[in-house]
Structure 1
Amino acid sequence: MSAAATHIISWFEIPATDFERAVRFYETAFATTLRRENVGGQPIGIFPYTEPATGGCVIHSPTLKPSTDGVMVYLNAGPSVDAVLARVEKAGGKVQGPVIELPQDIGYIGFFTDTEGNRIGLHSPKHD
């Protein structure tokens, strides 16, 4: 990169084989609404964000495949990883292991597998 980036991630896409099921899962797990759009013939569900924050979406694309062993995306779990993880299972996902405390007061992380088979990380400042 020629200039220092203010943030390295500019966008992320979480692949889905069943788009509506995946969007419902993330809306339930994160207690939010994803904005549905169609880009280049592909349906996407955009997570709420405000510039200059990083945005991302759930996408149904023939070129993307859900995976548990690819790139790891960590989503903001707000004030508590535990609250999101509790909703993950109710929404049809699977919690993967215990919440982990990070060093130097960085916060906490947790992991889950979504309804499509993607392994996703969570981060928050609190664990409760």
Structure 2
Amino acid sequence: MSALPKVVAWFEIPSVDFDRAVRFYEAALDVELNRQEFGGQPIATFGYEEPATGGAIVHGPSMKPAADGVTVYLNAQPTVNVALARIERAGGKTDGPVIELPQDIGYIAFFIDTEGNRVGLHSRTNG
């Protein structure tokens, strides 16, 4: 059995209020999302370069935000603490403390976005 080249191929974060969710993630992560329509549904993709994994904010009748579903970890730049401060200013809520991972893997934290999704953050350093 061989290993996959990357475990996550794509991710989607559901939204109730698409415009609010896009504004939140742009402010929280200090990025600009690329708004488009795909299959008649609005999406806003995060910029990325191959081989990194891409993803989007999505809005559709079958997608519901949830705090207890799958957890996606977003890249927190430059650190988890800096990203959490932006998240709070953008209307999100920190969900628990910053956690230092063993073996120099880095730091993680969680937040609840403006749509009610629980999302993770990761950074290699937090100083």
TM-score, normalised via structure 2 length: 0.97
Residue 106 of structure 1 aligns with which residue? 105
Task: Report how far residue 3 of structure 1 moved.
Answer: 4.5
- Do the aligned partners of 1:14 and 1:58 also contact (CA within 8 Å) in 2? yes
Q: Which runs of 5+ in 2 are unaligned?
A: none
For 1:78-101, what per-residue CA distance to the aligned partner results, in whole angstroms no more than 9, with x for missing partners? 230011100001000000111000
Residue 91 of structure 1 aligns with which residue? 90
Runs of 4+ in structure 1 off by over 3 angstroms are none
Q: Which amino acid aligns with 1:120?
A: V
- Do the aligned partners of 1:99 and 1:127 also contact (CA within 8 Å) in 2? no
Residue 56 of structure 2 aligns with which residue? 57
**Aligned equivalents of 1:64 and 1:58: distance in 2?**
11
- Do the aligned partners of 2:29 and 2:77 also contact (CA within 8 Å) in 1? no
The alignment of Structure 1 onto Structure 2 pairs a total of residues equal to 127
For 1:35-84, what per-residue CA distance to the aligned partner results, in whole angstroms no more than 9, with x for missing partners? 00100011001001011210000000111100000000000112300111
Identity of aligned residues (%): 61
Q: Which runs of 5+ in 1 are unaligned?
A: none
Q: Which amino acid aligns with 2:39?
A: G
Residue 4 of structure 1 aligns with which residue? 3
Matches within 5 A, 1:1-128: 3-128=2-127
**Aligned equivalents of 2:122 and 2:47: distance in 1?**
17
Q: Which amino acid aligns with 2:7?
A: I
Task: Report how far residue 116 of structure 1 moved.
Answer: 0.1
**Aligned equivalents of 1:65 and 1:46: distance in 2?**
18
For 1:92-112, what per-residue CA distance to the aligned partner results, in whole angstroms no more than 9, with x for missing partners? 000011100000110000100
Report the RMSD for the aligned CA atoms in angstroms: 1.0
TM-score, normalised via structure 1 length: 0.96
User: Helix, strand or coil: the match of 1:108?
Assistant: strand
User: Helix, strand or coil: the match of 1:75?
Assistant: strand
Task: Report how far residue 5 of structure 1 moved.
Answer: 1.3
